[in-house]
Amino acid sequence: MIYGKFIPLVLASSLLVACGDGDNGIGSSSAYTGKRELAALNTSNQNTFVAGLIFSLRDIAATGSRVDENAVIDVPSMMQRPEYLSRLIKRQVNNRYQAREVNLPEACSGGGFQTTTGNLDEGTNTGILRITSSQCSENDMVIDGVVDLIINEYDNYIKEPTDFIVITSDLSETINGVSYSVSGNIHFTNGAVGDAGIYGWEVKVISNLARKASTGVQQLDNNLQVEKDYNSSVSISGGFCDGSNGCVSIITKVPFYIPTQGEIVMTGANNSRIRIYPLDSQTWVGVDADGDGTYETNTPYTDPF
């Protein structure tokens, strides 16, 4: 099975939701037809779950930034504000002199085009935009289909959207030569926060996306939450499913922070576990297949794809 190029990244914090329905009325759950029972985790499927989760996080971030394959983690490239969508929203605000209908066709950097339509409120810059893509090539990804962008909050002082939802049904993405059908929603919130006089930018993302690949692979983000705190520590929690193996719940026992600390644990059937952690500038994976609390194997992660 092919998940695309391995992108190392930061993982962290505590379980918020277990692997369950998580549809949110948008259709991601019904679009996923793979196994839903907890997966029996072992050395045979450890890389499937690690690579699948990382692919999902890359798709959520969708910044197009490139990461050194030998790096253990890279917060800025994977957990910065969703740059493309933020720039798109800001363009609509900057191009608008009063509340009016938006209708803007635009060429994509690698070929194809996107057309953005919709309405934004004159005072709040909130509203709904529809982005229709036709063979739009951006950063090694080709997109076809329709995405609705619901802008709930916009900060006019910093000129940034701070709360928006991306909704799609059967969007077509081609990544590294593999085609995916994507359905569901991602909710982004972000803003300046701080403590004791130290301020930074916090990002929170909740994904309920289902992906089906042309290779037969299926994935489900079931309330998969990613949160970057103002101090750049990153947390991940929630549920994730692989169509052939089943589902896992995710917690992080040690917050990930550039560049040497962190531990995320995926738990499946009978308390079987996979842990992901950095060691000696590499990503390592441990497996507790019998659920007794002891990781029988600990090996450096190697991209199998």
Tokens at 86, concatenated: 């933020």
Residue type (1 letter), 139: N
Beta bridge partners of residue 132, listed in sequence order: 115, 146
Q: Are 248 and 39 in contact (CB under 8 A)?
A: yes
Tokens at 137, concatenated: 């090539």
Q: Are 284 and 278 in contact (CB under 8 A)?
A: yes
Neighbour tally for 95: CB within 10 Å = 12
Q: Is 21 helix (H, G, I), strand (E, B) or coil?
A: coil
Residue 58 has φ and ψ, to the nearest 5°, of -65, -40
pLDDT in tens, the chain (305 residues): 222 222 233 322 222 222 334 444 345 668 899 999 999 999 999 999 999 988 888 777 653 222 223 223 333 333 333 445 555 555 555 554 444 455 667 888 889 988 888 888 888 888 898 888 899 887 777 889 988 889 899 888 877 788 888 898 878 888 778 888 989 998 888 876 655 555 566 788 899 999 998 889 999 999 999 888 777 788 899 999 999 999 999 998 888 875 578 899 999 999 999 999 988 878 899 999 999 999 999 999 876 54
Residue type (1 letter), 60: I
The pLDDT value recorded for residue 262 is 87
Q: Are 231 and 255 in contact (CB under 8 A)?
A: no
Whole-prediction pTM: 0.76
CA distance 65 to 84: 11
Residue type (1 letter), 24: N
The pLDDT value recorded for residue 161 is 80
Residue 69 has φ and ψ, to the nearest 5°, of -65, -25
Q: Are 236 and 252 in contact (CB under 8 A)?
A: yes
Q: Are 300 and 283 in contact (CB under 8 A)?
A: yes
Tokens at 289, concatenated: 């297949």
